Amino acid sequence: MIELDGVGYGYGGRTLFSDLSMALAPGSFHFLTGPSGAGKTTLLKLCYAELTATEGRVTLWGRDAAAMDRDAVALARRRIGVVHQDCQFLDHLPVSENILLPLTVAGRQDEGGQNLRELLAWVGLTAQAGRLPPELSGGERQRAALARAVITSPDVILADEPTGNIDWEMSQRLLTLLIELNRMGKAVLIATHDLNLIRAAKAHVAARVLRLRDGRLLQAGADL
């Protein structure tokens, strides 16, 4: 679905990484780890065509991302759910409306509110649906961001440090949700520093661990 072939990227002429190749196939589960500043967020942005590779080729569902026009990128992005690192919301809209936004933007409706109700129950936010985002805890925000990322029923979920600022118990809960999505056939890629989270996941899912370091992407060893 998403393929990177010999991809490189740099900001302001400074090469961050080069010659990276990977493929996100249906039902796959990947972790992307590596030191702060290695380029994990940048790599995710290349996967959803927020950035264009300066070298190599990114292919989204068989089409070269660099050659896609805005409409084609928008269509491809509907198949990708992104949980951003800072998980920002529109603070003046209730949580439920924030979660529905990607559907609205795609010109679709949640007929009868069924999807929203099920999603809220799934992430455990039914009672918080009418609250404003600034009233949520860190873990609640992360779960709302995950619900927003999957409301359009995407084929791929890209999560950037989804457990960044939350406690271990809540991290486990989020991980369980992501594993459930994967069992439904979705490809999942999680960028994280948290090696304990990766170890916990490996007990439940056949995850590949990729390590981005010094401009190279390597498969992590059996120690993880």
Ligand X SMILES: Nc1ncnc2c1ncn2[C@@H]1O[C@H](COP(=O)(O)OP(=O)(O)OP(=O)(O)O)[C@@H](O)[C@H]1O
Q: How near is the Cβ of 194 to ligand X at its closest, in Å?
A: 11
- If you search the block for the tokens 């995710």, which residue do you land on? 44
Q: Does 114 bind ligand X (CB under 6 A)?
A: no
Nearest to ligand X of 15, 153 (CB atom): 15
The contact pattern for ligand X, residues 21-50, with x = CB under 6 A and - = no contact, is -------------x-xxxxxxx--------
Give the strand pairing for 187-191 and 216-219.
Answer: unpaired
For the chain, what is the radius of gyration of the CA atoms? Answer: 17
DSSP string for residues in 176-215: HHHHHHHHTT-EEEEE-S-HHHHHHHHTTS--EEEEEETT
Nearest to ligand X of 43, 149 (CB atom): 43
Q: How near is the Cβ of 184 to ligand X at its closest, in Å?
A: 27
Task: Number of residues interacting with ligand X: please give it, by CB under 6 A.
Answer: 11
Q: Does 168 bind ligand X (CB under 6 A)?
A: no
Q: How near is the Cβ of 162 to ligand X at its closest, in Å?
A: 12
Nearest to ligand X of 24, 103 (CB atom): 24
Tokens of 64: 């070269």
Cα separation, 209 vs 222, in Å, equals: 9
- Residues 6 or more apart whose Cβ sits within 8 Å of residue 145: 83, 84, 87, 89, 162
Q: How near is the Cβ of 90 to ligand X at its closest, in Å?
A: 23
- Residues lying near ligand X in the complex (CB under 6 A) are found at 11-12, 16, 34, 36-42
